[in-house]
Amino acid sequence: MDFAYTPAQQELKARAAAYAELLMDYELESEAADGPLPRDTVKKLTHAAMDAGVYGINMPTEWGGAGLTLLEQVIVEEEFGKVTNCLWDIPWRPSNVLAMASPEQRERYLLPILRGERFDAFATTEPDSGSDAGAIATTATPVDGGWLLDGEKWFVTCGDVADFLLVQANVLPDNESTLFFVEKDTPGVRISRTPRFMHSAVNGHPEFVFENVFVPTESVLGEVGQGFELTKDWFTDERLMIAARTVGLAERALQLARDWAVQRKQFGVPISDFQMIQAMLADCAVDIAVNRSYTHQVAWEADHGVDRKTLHAKASIAKLSASEAAGRVVDRCLQIFGGRGYDRSYPIERMYREVRVDRIWEGTSEIQRVIVANELIKRGTAFLDLPVA
């Protein structure tokens, strides 16, 4: 088993790192704006991502994407995770389920995304349906030529800048979970509120209301009744990317804390001479090394044909472990910085606020534990094994 990056993967990592450095130049501007950056800035950074080959990384080259394997996507997202203010949203990675679009849907929705002309947002969470996906109350009532959508969707990440939404709704009368393409300017679609959260993300997470929203027959992604499975595939992908980004965030935090500890003097010596500081640095290194290895392993297994149920559980392990580890790392690193770590002009403070949500969105830590426990109960410990060649 070869754990070394290929020359192409090393070069990809370097390109992603260089692009992440470019994004870092806009962190303080984004923090001050507490919202979208100017359109000209976003356009410039979008084209820079395209030039670097790190835009649309999860879509094939024949459609205009970067055509990366899942492991290569993890390599890129790990570098992006080092950037604060969720600026990694600018080098857009379309919802993976858009690969299931029909040729006509692909022309209308996916290809413009890959050209940087449109953006999508995935709308599944509701006021009474977060972890309990089965409690979704948004309905699609059949009418001539399509459906009428009614309901609410909350915490729609990047919904403020998206041009269209992928909305999960239950088709009546049998409550068949289905994904629909919904243009944001369709009559009956409105943003009711854009909450302000702990982190200052470059894009928002608005709440949407749908009132008698007509969507035509051709607006269904996949098939009627396939929505839950497609959403599950989307969650699996997102959880693995969160694991990768939190590893990257933790690594930047540790690098900053290590550099600070070496040069910061107290009692006449660098604080890196103190064993309690050394212990915190060492614990951070362990958290990062272990979670990077496992996240890479799961991505590699996915590229080599691991079955969907196993991948779903392993992605949950990766997301659970990496997000919680990153929280520990950033907490220690802020402590090493002392009062300066609490200053918003320092990246470590922004990381401290931002990493907290990684234990919540795309499935809480508690839900990841439920998924892993269910897999253990149903299939034993065999799913933890590496695949056989």
Q: Which residues have a catalytic role annotated?
A: 362
Q: CA–CA separation, 354 vs 225, rounded Å?
A: 35
Distances (CA, A) of 42 to 121, 199, 359: 17, 19, 28
Query: Of the candidates 259, 270, 330, which has an alpha carbon nearest to the alpha carbon of residue 84?
Result: 330
Counting Cα atoms < 13 Å in the Cβ hemisphere of 16 gives: 28
Residues in the chain: 389
Q: CA–CA separation, 307 vs 94, rounded Å?
A: 23
Q: Quickly tell me which residue has 């472990």 as its tokens.
A: 321
Q: CA–CA separation, 54 vs 45, rounded Å?
A: 11
Query: Of the candidates 381, 126, 70, which has an alpha carbon nearest to the alpha carbon of residue 244?
Result: 70
φ/ψ of residue 169, rounded to 5? -145, 160
DSSP state of 224: T
The alpha carbon torsion through 171, 175, 180, 182 (nearest 10 deg) reads 70
C-alpha 173: how far from chain center: 33
Write out the two tokens for 112: 């413009």
**What element of type H or E holds 12?**
helix 7-24
The two beta strands, 164-171 and 139-143, are parallel
φ/ψ of residue 269, rounded to 5? -140, 160
Q: CA–CA separation, 240 vs 253, rounded Å?
A: 20
Collapsed DSSP state (helix, strand, coil) of residue 269: strand
Q: CA–CA separation, 182 vs 210, rounded Å?
A: 10
